[in-house]
Amino acid sequence: MKKNIALLTGAAALVLTAASATAKEPVDGSNYDRPTGSYAFEPDRKTVRFWKDQTVNRDDFIVTLENGNWFFHVDGFPIINGTEEDFPPQQVWEALQKIGWGHVEKAKELGLKRPFDFYDNYREKSVAWLAKHYPYYKAPEPLPVSLGKLRNLAEKPTKPRFELTGKVWPATHGEASVCLWEDDKVAAFDFNQDDNNVTDQAGFREVAEKYGVKATFNIITFDIGGGYSGGGWKAPGTWDDWRKAKEDGFRIASHTHMHLQDWIKSDGWPGFEFEAAESKRLLDENLPDQNTRVYVYPGGGTPEMQYGFRYLLPTMHSVNMMRESATKYYAAARGGSVAPPINQANMIDYFNIATTQTPRADFNYDILLDPTLGNKFYRGWLNIFIHGLLLDRWESDPAHMGYTKFFEWINAHRDDLWIGFMEDIALYSQERDTATLTTVSADDKKIVLHLTSQMEPTIFDYPLTVKVRLADTWKGATAMQDDKPVECKTITHENTNCALVKARPDRGEIVLAPAKK
């Protein structure tokens, strides 16, 4: 049996780390030296006691290993968290550093007196459901890639991938560059919703019509159709509902298969690859023309308690736990709330895309467009997600008043923003980060460009915007790639013309010709 490890958490506003606590062996199991934030093992090495203050004879937090299961106790209030095999001691240690006291208080308010009435009612059902549907599950092979290509940019960047500048303007005929964002916009923005909530679709259509912003729905797949919950849990919707959403121009991303509702292997849960791969399989098979390339971690990807069938289960920071499995099946994955919710354009972590829940009325979104020296968020990617749209509260509820202000800001800066989908922005960015663009030739009759990327072309097929300087004698241009017309428009800057061409890397040479007069 592995030795237990000390727990770490503190008051709601204070999170202690292992280094800040001082372990002391108890003399007789009851008389402790109790400095604030201390912990100690009981003589049996299966119990750890932790104190957030120096109150005598009060066990603020106890961790015990009982019959192979970890139990967490606060003032005698137990919380079950699975077996030692499911949660190795080091993972428990790391998880508990991120748990705040507020979650325990919430559980007390709900009257959950033992491990747990709420959870136990669902665990038996979950075990039976997994046994019926996934008794011998084997995760599929990762997405294939061609020789010399990348499935995704999986590593967290430790330094900028390129120098961030304002818009680039080529100087001579035929000179070209890849634009930072589509259509040479200053910055990028996308809007998305977690947890199905199919009843919100009408509201999203209203927002799309009023503000020109269409969302990505990040959906949990296991209960679509209500076969598990009877249709009540998180308003899962039906496949027809989600097909209609796609028909209306919305996008669908994966938010796992079971949302880690029962992620105990001894209950039959197949593992993190199951959450990632099975969700993608179901989405791709049930939705028309669907190729699911973006994953959204459960629990917002943040170090918080996971609510659901397994109530108050710590996610142990789902980004860290699920990142490896996500990289096998997806081009990118969204993480949890941060402030500000802006991805630095030249240092995007594509498997922890920064976001925040709900537009904030007090946030200065102008930081995206501010070229002030030292502003690392200039020209960044803003990602906002929500759980419920709640249109009727936008004008009256202080918690939701930020919506109106935010979308008005979006409208006011539409000319500077690429208002896109999370998937498109993630694909574009990685193609851009690894692109090589060369001018093969340029004369009065045509310009020939060669565009490649390190990304796997069967996964990354979104067109990059290439800006090309045109000779003064060219009043416009047309463009072809692989002998097929591609989008090309002419813009003017300081009395010179440039073409913005949308071309896909590794799809053949790009040929521009003067527009016919």
**Tell me, what DSSP letter sits at residue 448?**
E
In 36-193, alpha helices (H): 89-96, 101-109, 117-133
Measured N-to-C along each axis, helices 239-247 and 272-286 cross at an angle, to the nearest 10 degrees, of: 70
- Cβ-count burial 243-259 (b if 16+ within 10 Å, e if not): eebeeeebbbbbbbbbb
Would residue 259 be called left, alpha or beta, if left means φ above 0 and alpha means ψ between -120 and 50 degrees?
left
**Residue segments in the chain with a per-residue pLDDT below the cut of 70:** 1-123, 229-234, 262-264, 300-318, 399
Q: Specify the 3-state DSSP secondary structure of 477.
A: strand
Using a 10 angstrom Cβ sphere, with 0-12 exposed, 13-18 middle and 19 or more buried, the burial of residue 194 is buried
Which pairing describes strands 332-337 and 353-357: parallel, antiparallel, or unpaired? parallel
Residue type, 130: L
The pair of structure tokens assigned to 270 is 């197949």
The residue type at 444: D
Quote the pLDDT of residue 230.
Answer: 59
Residue 313 φ/ψ, nearest 5 degrees: -80, 125
Neighbours of 414 (CB within 10 A): 15
Q: Is 293 helix (H, G, I), strand (E, B) or coil?
A: coil
Q: How do the domains of the chain map onto residue ranges? A: 18-115, 190-428, 434-514
Q: What is the Cα–Cα distance from 335 to 356, expressed in whole angstroms?
A: 9
In the chain, DSSP finds a helix count (H) and a strand count (E) of 9, 25
| Residue 143 DSSP one-character state | P
Q: Encoding tokens for residue 411?
A: 């409208």
User: Measured between alpha carbons, how far is residue 198 from residues 76, 194, 238, 429 in Å?
Assistant: 40, 10, 9, 30
Say what the pLDDT of residue 226 is: 79
DSSP string, 100-138: -HHHHHHHHHTT--SS-HHHHHHHHHHHHHHHHH-TT--
Query: Is the alpha carbon torsion for 49, 52, 56, 58 positive or negative?
Result: negative
Q: Tokens standing for 291?
A: 């190729």
The topology (CATH level 3) of 190-428 is: TIM Barrel (3.20.20)
